[in-house]
Amino acid sequence: MLTHIDPYSVADCSEAIVAKEINTSIEINAPAEAVWQVLINFSCYAQWNPFIRSIQGEARQGATLEVFIQPPGRNGMTFRPIILALEPGRELRWIGRLLLPGIFDGEHQFQLEPIGGNRTKFVHREVFSGLLVPFLWSSFAQPTRQGFEEMNGALKAQVEP
């Protein structure tokens, strides 16, 4: 019978978790507030967004969304992320998970950075972590990056006068 666990004999599980990131950005010739208004108008995504085809739910911290994405050349998928951060005019960030935390998690972030002259840098990134990331990365990284870039360009076209 085991009555004592030596903490030095147990491996640190955090070292086993692999994280990969997709990070894209684009400069938009419009103020951050104008970009923000398009970004949080979820009901219009189907009209302009080639990657995130729909979002249902309320834009507030802690809310659960229903998101349908369609990476270029791939089948679409629906997932239900939770909004981790919502700072009007600056950031929208959510986390989506496959089954349980630590299996395959994606922390998705939209960030708006004013760069002067009524221009905005739109940063679109996601950090993927979990046990399945090393096995799945090569199958989804490129189409996902392409989807991010297509969305960035479509957002720019939607916002700019």
Q: pLDDT digits over 64-91, tens only?
A: 999 999 999 999 999 999 999 999 999 9
Contact 81, 64 (CB under 8 A): yes
Q: How far apart are alpha carbons 104 and 135 in whole angstroms?
A: 10
Q: Is the pTM of this model over 0.85?
A: yes
Region 147-159: mean pLDDT is: 99
Q: Where are the beta strands (DSSP E) in the chain?
A: 18-28, 52-56, 66-69, 77-79, 82-87, 91-97, 105-116, 119-130
- In the chain the domains, ranked by start, together with CATH numbers, are 20-159 (3.30.530.20)
| pLDDT tens figures, 26-65 | 999 999 999 999 999 999 999 999 999 999 999 999 999 9
Report whether pLDDT(115) > 80: yes
Mean of the per-residue pLDDT values of the chain: 91
Higher pLDDT, 140 or 15: 140
Q: Is the pLDDT of residue 16 over 60?
A: no
Task: Give the pLDDT confidence score for residue 3 in this predicted structure.
Answer: 41
Q: Output Rg (C-alpha) for the chain, integer angstroms.
A: 18
